[in-house]
Structures are given as C-alpha cells and as structure tokens.
Amino acid sequence: MPDAATLRRALPAALAACLAAPDARADERSLWLRAEGSTAVAPTGAVTATPVPPPVDRHGDEARAALARAREQFLAYAFREASGTLRLAAAEHVEHLVGDDRALALEVLYWAGACALLAGDRDGARASFQHALTVDGAARPPASVFPPEVDGFFEETRRASALAAPAVRTVRSVPAGARIEVDGRDEGVTPVTLRLAAGVHTLRLTRVGYRPWMGPLRADGPEVSEQAVVLAEATGAELRAQLGAVAGLAETPDAPTLARIVREYQVERVVLALRGGAELVYPPRQPFPWAWVAVGAGVAAVGAGLGLYFALRPPETVTLIAP
C-alpha cells in the first residue's frame, strides 16, 4: 500500500487528469467546420464534414438540347413547334442558368421570343424579350440571325421597358439573414429592398441549414410591395452536403441549425472556424468553476481543521460533587 508521501505526490496529477478528462472527451466529440475565407486547419481528433462535390448540373445540357431541336424546327418553318419547345425549356432551365451560364440563358430567351413572334404570339414574344432584358439590361439578339421583324420587335420591347418606372420590392425570409440573388446578382441578405426594372425576375434565396428557394419575382408597376419566403429546413444528406462545401460555409448557421447539426452528427458541440482566427462554439463552452472549487476547498479545509481540533483536543475536566 502506498505511503502518505507517495499519495501526496500523486494527488495533484490525478486531480488534473480528472479535471482535463471532460474537455478531452468533448474535443473528440466536436464537429469542426470552416467558414469561407478561414485558413484554419482541423484539430487532431475532431470530427469533420466530408467534402461533397457540387451536383451535376443538368440544366445546361438540357437547354442546349432544346435549342438544337428548336433550330431544326425553325429551319423547317415549324415556328409554333419551336416556340413550344423553347417555352418549356425557358420555364424549366432559365432560372437555374442566370447565375451560372447567363449567355446560355439569354440565348434560350432570344430564340423563344423570336419563335413566338413568328408563330403569331406577340404576348409570348414580349414576355421572353422582357425576361432577357431583366437578366441583362444591355441584352441584344445576335445580329443577322433572325428576320428584321424580330429585331424590330425586340427594340420596341426594350424602349417600352426603359420608359417603365422601376418597381420597389422588399424581400423578407423566415428565418432572416438568407443570401439573396436576383437574376444571378448578389443583393446581400434578407430583408432587402430592391428597385427593379419592369418584368419577371429570378429570385434565389440560400441559407446554411435550409433548402435553397427559387422562384419568380414580378415587377409589374411602381407601387411598393413585399414578398416573404419561408425557408424549409435541410436535413440528412442535404444538410451534410451544405456543411461539406469545399469553399467553406458562406453564412454562420443560426442556433436552431446548429442544434440540428449536433443531432445529425451525434456530437457534443460544433466548432466553426471564422475569418481572422476566431471560433464560434455551440453550445458555448462553460468555464470551469474555479472560484467554486476554491470555495469548496476552503470549506473542506476548515471542516477538516475543525474535525482534527475536536478529535485531538484533550478531554475537559469533569468534577463530581458528592451529595
């Protein structure tokens, strides 16, 4: 059995090990993430999100296939069929292309407007050309490709759009703080108030921990109006794909998302490395209560001292008085 001196030497080390063990276990159960712009490296033993390559974008390939089919119909003077082909392609693919391949999006809209006009659908042609102008205010159909009446109608649409008063639209999201893109251009984070040219614009909202939202944003007049979007939570593989972005996280997750991340990865906490070397920890680390330890140690010392005093003091003298 160890003597008293050995126990006294071993006690500080054992106490330090007991105090450090919870932190060591917590580090092993931390999910480590990185924000865009951070150069921090994951600490040894931390759980990391598996990098996920971006999904294959089918919209570009399908839009090019639709254009090739419509050109064949166009050359066969089947303008109505070509218009239907491109109207469907524009509805399915243009919103996805305006941010990644704007030139292809404009090409689909030019051809959709031209074929609609040649098929006798002036309203459809005007809508396609207006959409092209909302994507790019300096848009022009390629020279010497379409008949002169198409170029003339596009110029008429452009002049009417230039004369129309801009519309004021306020876009809000639930939760707030979503990244907003309008026609592929970054417009900051919600809530945002926008001045938009007349027409239908492509609105896209993204926020870490929520499913991306995409839809039309109509600017039909100068009156002020508001559009609110409720974002759905991302879970499972969709959430893991966002956290595994190679470039890092574009936004800081909110508290409900951080709680979902803890459950998804079955970790004790999430550590997000920010720009400049700072860290965000969820749930926040609670400092070890050294003051209470000191108070407890003091109370224990006083109690031990009192116990020794009462145990070791000599017995009081008892005097018996005989009757």
Question: Of 162, 180, 204, at which residue does a domain stop?
Answer: 162
Higher pLDDT, 198 or 11: 198
261 and 292 co-located in one domain: yes
47 and 63 co-located in one domain: no
154 and 66 co-located in one domain: yes
| CA 131/CA 89 separation, integer angstroms | 14
The pLDDT value recorded for residue 318 is 43
Number of domains in the chain: 3
The pLDDT value recorded for residue 7 is 44
193 and 156 co-located in one domain: no
Position 323 in a domain:
no
- Mind listing the pLDDT tens digit for each residue in 63-110? 999 999 999 999 999 999 999 999 999 988 888 888 888 899 999 999
- Domain span holding position 302: 1-51+245-313
157 and 189 co-located in one domain: no
Strands (DSSP E) along 10-129, which ranges? 30-34, 47-48
284 and 309 co-located in one domain: yes
Question: Of 230, 263, 278, at which residue does a domain stop?
Answer: 230
Q: Is the preceding omega at residue 43 within 30 degrees of 0, hence cis? A: no
- Residue 111 CA from chain centroid, whole number: 34
Residue 87 belongs to a domain with what CATH number?
Answer: 1.25.40
Q: How far, in Å, are 210, 231, 290, 295 from residue 234 at the CA level?
A: 5, 9, 40, 47
| Greatest mean pLDDT range, 13-27, 39-53, 138-152 | 138-152
Neighbours of 275 (CB within 10 A): 13
254 and 219 co-located in one domain: no
Percentage, residues of the chain above pLDDT 90: 41
Q: What mean pLDDT is predicted for residues 219-246?
A: 86
Backbone angles phi, psi at 178, to 5 degrees: -80, 140
251 and 292 co-located in one domain: yes
Compute the C-alpha angle 153/157/158, nearest 5°. 115
